[in-house]
């Protein structure tokens, strides 16, 4: 009875386990097949829509291309008989005989003036005043086909240049079409489609056709789309999803196709839906049933087999299981021990260089302090920060940067003694413990490190030179605990950075005070930006031949609440170091652009207003978009706007600088190279840069006309500017002799104390009235 009962219990338990695992496996299999089915349906819907969009775009472009080669249109455009263009008839024919419904045409002459619109009698307005694409087409005619958002709706749009028989550009044919036919075709295939325009076009859709907005998103086709509109209002649809979405409440499958605008930001979203009830799932259910049948048969077979084995050789089976269990336990125990050792190692070592990490470093430093205390010895702590490591990462990539860190860690370990500890505690930060040593021997080790770092690292076929800024603290004069010694060595390292990098400094109390001042300056700058303490002063640029204002340069001043008026040299270098320079640049850009708009409205003759922009701001990801929004919002005349970029900053990465500056120049903003002559510009790059002006650095002006070398340099720069057809201006001019020399050599635009210092807004307005 006992053995029979055990067999019964074992059988029931095995059946329960098999049934449980069978159920889990079946559900996972069904879920996997369901997900794949939904993914296939989602991809099919998006592919169908993408194909229809491509076909519609090509059709709209084809109509525009056909009209551009139509002799009648060409003749009427050349003869300016625009009233005889009857393209509204063509719109009706296309609507009647093709899938191109709601097509409109606009004819634009070579000056950017709208001379004909098929949907209205309004014409004669110059589109270049508010449409950048038209202005761009006028400057560089070429075929354009895109999707765009206007003040009425989102449409397909093609722009085709028209040429006369002499291949002279005479105008543009613009063809516009709505998306109605796409929605209709998708509906025939069983899909419902909702067209949504991104919310950053809200202000642009001033006369929207549907006038339906949800959270500032424009609904282009709300008619007969109540279910989709309701789902979007209830946040059941994620516009940023790149896969399908299931609405179990209403029984729909949604998928979203996102369309980006020319600024690479989202412009529109096509939400495509299909009822779940119309998706054929019979194959999945049939597969599920087959799996269940198979698993049941396998389960029955296994139960019978186990029962036979149990009955025939019960003792042997139990013995084998026990042996197997013992082996498994031993293996798992060994594996856990290995994992424990590995976790312990990872917890105390840097994964990239295999050096001790900060935790292990502090522990070893604690032990070293105890030993030094017992032996009445001193020890040194080095804090090494790799100079300009970010530039290496940005230039050669993170893989090269990681390999450089590994090579450096190897060199450091080769330099120090076996009893010393080298650790990596941060991205480009290393620390070293030097027990049983004094200041003299510490310096010898540091100098040995500097000497060894003179050898370049050859990575990916490139010689890379690296240097350290090193801070040193000594036990126990600079601290008696690990945290204090490390902190003080870190403080000394920043002093080494400020001393020009590639050097070392010992810690002292003055350094701690310096850190406090740096932290206070950081806080003051942030508060200054928040409280509007920064102010633009304006230094006039004078045409020395007429003594009239030729332009202004905006120079920042800080009205500090306790220190009074501060000049840039007192805070700009620190702002660049801590990364706040981009916010200061944006602050000045916004303030000066608005001031320029105000002066122009008041009738002041300002000439071009120059604004200095740092490399960090120029290379920031959102610089171009922020600049574009500022221009759009302020409506500033960009012909009066000029950005000044330091020559040395441009030459760090000239190819990248060319790309950024060209995009700025396309907005109509002039580019001036500041401090020209100090950055070792390559003439080949100078020819490619989209600059319009060179500014001679004050270091070359101060000793002219007495110093023959400076005279030769200034003459060369002026000659270079003339040959490259660039404007030229000299800064730092302070004497009449300098003015006479510069004008004689062909540089008539002068900036400096000889004519005026930097002025406040009120002082500058008075100056412009006098010299305007």
Q: Cβ-count burial of 247 within 10 angstroms (0-12 exposed, 13-18 middle, 19+ buried)? A: middle
Return the pLDDT at 331: 77
- Using alpha carbons, select from 283, 278, 276, 239 the residue that is nearest to residue 260: 239
Categorize the per-residue pLDDT at 174 as very low, low, confident or very high, splitting at 50, 70 and 90: very high
DSSP E strand stretches across 99-191? 103-109, 114-117, 144-149, 154-163, 169-177
**How many CA atoms does the CB half-sphere of 466 hold within 13 Å?**
29
**Does the pLDDT of residue 225 top 80, yes or no?**
yes
Cα(516)–Cα(328) distance, integer angstroms: 60
Categorize the per-residue pLDDT at 683 as very low, low, confident or very high, splitting at 50, 70 and 90: low
Q: For residue 257, give both structure tokens.
A: 């196709």
User: Rounded mean pLDDT of 106-126?
Assistant: 88
**Does the pLDDT of residue 454 top 60, yes or no?**
yes
Q: DSSP 3-state assignment of 748?
A: coil
Categorize the per-residue pLDDT at 234 as very low, low, confident or very high, splitting at 50, 70 and 90: confident
Cα(73)–Cα(164) distance, integer angstroms: 11
Which residue bears the tokens 């409109």?
104
User: Rounded mean pLDDT of 425-439?
Assistant: 90
Query: Which of 192-201, 509-518, 705-714 has the weakest average pLDDT?
Result: 509-518
**Does the pLDDT of residue 509 top 60, yes or no?**
no
* pLDDT over 70, % of the chain: 93
Strand duo 564-566 + 548-560: pairing: antiparallel
Return the pLDDT at 420: 93
Return the pLDDT at 2: 47
User: Rounded mean pLDDT of 393-408?
Assistant: 91
**Does the pLDDT of residue 251 top 90, yes or no?**
no
**Does the pLDDT of residue 3 top 70, yes or no?**
no
Return the pLDDT at 10: 67
**Does the pLDDT of residue 468 top 80, yes or no?**
yes
Return the pLDDT at 432: 97
Cα(519)–Cα(526) distance, integer angstroms: 11
Strand duo 169-177 + 154-163: pairing: antiparallel
Residues 6+ apart with CB under 8 A from 656: 619
Cα(323)–Cα(746) distance, integer angstroms: 100
Domains of the chain and CATH, by start: 39-278 (3.30.450.20), 358-507 (3.30.70.270), 544-554+581-771 (3.20.20.450)
Query: Which of 181-190, 301-310, 538-547, 593-602 has the weakest average pLDDT?
Result: 301-310
Contact in structure between 143 and 133 (CB atoms under 8 Å) = no
Cα(764)–Cα(767) distance, integer angstroms: 5
**Secondary structure of 452-490 in HEC code, one letter for each residue:** HHCCCEEECCEEECCCEEEEEEEECCCCCCHHHHHHHHH
Return the pLDDT at 326: 78
Q: DSSP 3-state assignment of 597?
A: helix
Average pLDDT in the chain? 87
Q: What is the pLDDT of residues 263-322, one digit of tens each?
A: 788 989 999 998 988 888 888 888 888 877 887 788 787 777 766 766 665 566 566 777
User: Rounded mean pLDDT of 367-387?
Assistant: 93
Residues 6+ apart with CB under 8 A from 682: 651, 654
Return the pLDDT at 1: 44
Q: DSSP 3-state assignment of 148?
A: strand
Return the pLDDT at 602: 94
Q: At what angle do helices 761-771 and 581-602 cross, to 10 degrees?
A: 40
Return the pLDDT at 756: 95
Return the pLDDT at 113: 92
Return the pLDDT at 161: 94
Distances (CA, A) of 348 to 357, 425, 435, 481, 490: 6, 11, 20, 20, 21
Return the pLDDT at 315: 64
Query: Which of 28-37, 127-136, 173-182, 315-324 has the weakest average pLDDT?
Result: 315-324
Categorize the per-residue pLDDT at 6 as very low, low, confident or very high, splitting at 50, 70 and 90: low
**Does the pLDDT of residue 258 top 80, yes or no?**
yes
| DSSP single-letter state for residue 243 | S
Distances (CA, A) of 618 to 389, 548, 662: 20, 32, 12
- Read off the pTM: 0.43
Helices (H), 110-179: 132-139
User: Contacts from 417-422 at CB under 8 Å and sequence distance 24+?
Assistant: 421/356, 421/361, 421/364, 421/365, 421/368, 422/355, 422/356
Which residue bears the tokens 């204002």?
549
The most confident of the ranges 173-177, 575-579, 732-736 is 732-736
The most confident of the ranges 492-501, 575-584, 636-645 is 636-645
Residues 6+ apart with CB under 8 A from 566: 557, 558, 560
Contact in structure between 692 and 669 (CB atoms under 8 Å) = no
């Amino acid at each position: 009875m006992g053995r029979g009962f055990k067999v019964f219990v074992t059988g029931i338990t095995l059946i329960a386990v098999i049934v449980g695992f069978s159920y889990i496996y079946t559900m996972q299999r069904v879920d996997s097949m369901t997900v794949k089915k939904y993914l296939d349906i989602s991809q099919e819907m998006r592919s169908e829509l993408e194909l229809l969009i491509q076909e519609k775009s090509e059709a709209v472009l084809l109509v525009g291309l056909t009209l551009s080669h139509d002799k009648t249109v060409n003749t009427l455009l050349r003869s300016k008989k625009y009233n005889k263009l009857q393209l509204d008839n063509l719109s009706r024919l296309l609507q009647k005989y093709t899938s191109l419904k709601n097509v409109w045409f606009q004819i634009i002459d070579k000056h950017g003036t709208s001379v004909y619109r098929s949907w209205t009698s309004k014409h004669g307005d110059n589109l270049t005043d508010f449409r950048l694409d038209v202005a761009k087409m006028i400057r560089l005619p070429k075929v354009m086909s895109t999707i765009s958002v206007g003040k009425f709706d989102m449409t397909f749009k093609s722009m085709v240049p028209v040429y006369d028989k002499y291949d002279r550009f005479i105008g543009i044919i613009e063809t516009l079409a709505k998306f109605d036919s796409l929605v209709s075709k998708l509906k025939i295939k069983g899909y419902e489609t909702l067209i949504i325009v991104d919310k950053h076009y809200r202000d642009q859709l001033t006369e929207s056709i549907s006038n339906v907005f949800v959270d500032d998103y424009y609904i282009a086709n709300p008619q007969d789309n109540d279910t989709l509109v309701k789902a979007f209002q209830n946040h059941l649809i994620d516009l940023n999803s790149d896969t399908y979405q299931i609405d179990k409440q209403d029984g729909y499958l949604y998928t979203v196709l996102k369309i980006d605008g020319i600024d690479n930001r989202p412009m529109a979203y096509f939400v495509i839906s299909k009822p779940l009830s119309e998706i054929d799932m019979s194959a999945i259910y049939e597969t599920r049933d087959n799996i269940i049948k198979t698993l049941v048969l396998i389960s029955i077979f296994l139960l019978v087999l186990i029962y036979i084995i149990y009955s025939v050789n019960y003792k042997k089976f139990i013995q084998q299981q026990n042996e197997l269990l013992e082996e498994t336990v031993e293996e798992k125990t060994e594996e856990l021990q290995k994992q424990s050792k590995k976790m312990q190692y990872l917890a105390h070592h840097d994964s990239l260089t295999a050096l001790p990490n900060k935790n292990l470093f502090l522990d070893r430093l604690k032990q070293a302090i105890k030993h030094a205390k017992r032996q009445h010895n001193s020890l040194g702590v080095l804090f090494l920060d790799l100079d300009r490591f970010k530039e290496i990462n940005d230039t050669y990539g993170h893989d090269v940067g990681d390999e450089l860190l590994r090579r450096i860690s190897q060199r450091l370990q080769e330099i120090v003694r076996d009893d010393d500890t080298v650790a990596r505690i941060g991205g480009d930060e290393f620390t070293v413990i030097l027990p049983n040593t004094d200041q003299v021997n510490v310096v010898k080790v540091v100098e040995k490190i500097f000497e060894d770092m003179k050898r370049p690292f050859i990575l990916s076929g490139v010689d890379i030179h690296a240097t350290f800024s090193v801070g040193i603290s000594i036990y126990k004069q600079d601290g008696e605990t690990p945290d204090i010694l490390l902190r003080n060595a870190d403080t000394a390292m920043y002093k080494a950075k400020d001393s020009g990098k590639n050097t070392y400094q010992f810690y002292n109390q003055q350094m701690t005070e310096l850190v406090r001042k740096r932290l206070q300056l950081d806080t003051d700058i942030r508060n200054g930006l928040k409280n509007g303490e920064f102010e633009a002063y304006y230094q006039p640029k004078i045409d020395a031949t007429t003594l009239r204002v030729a332009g202004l340069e905006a120079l920042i001043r800080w009205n500090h609440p306790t220190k009074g008026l501060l000049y840039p040299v007192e805070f700009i270098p620190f702002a660049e170091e801590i990364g706040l320079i981009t916010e200061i640049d944006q602050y000045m850009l916004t303030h000066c652009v608005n001031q320029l708009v105000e002066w122009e409205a008041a009738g002041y003759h300002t000439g071009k207003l120059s604004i200095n922009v740092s490399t960090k701001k120029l290379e920031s990801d959102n610089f171009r978009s922020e600049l574009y929004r500022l221009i759009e919002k302020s409506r500033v005349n960009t012909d009066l706007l000029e950005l000044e970029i330091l020559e040395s900053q441009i030459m760090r990465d000239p190819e990248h600088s060319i790309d950024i500056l060209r995009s700025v120049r396309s907005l109509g903003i002039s580019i001036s190279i500041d401090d020209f002559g100090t950055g070792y510009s390559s003439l080949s790059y100078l020819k490619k840069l989209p600059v319009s002006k060179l500014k001679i650095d004050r270091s070359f002006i101060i000793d002219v006309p007495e110093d023959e070398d400076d005279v030769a340099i200034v003459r060369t720069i002026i000659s270079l500017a003339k040959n490259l057809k660039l404007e030229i201006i000299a800064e730092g001019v302070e004497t009449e002799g300098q003015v006479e020399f510069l004008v004689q050599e062909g540089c008539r635009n002068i900036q400096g104390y000889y004519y005026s210092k930097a002025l406040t807004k009120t002082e500058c307005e008075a100056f412009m009235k006098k010299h305007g």
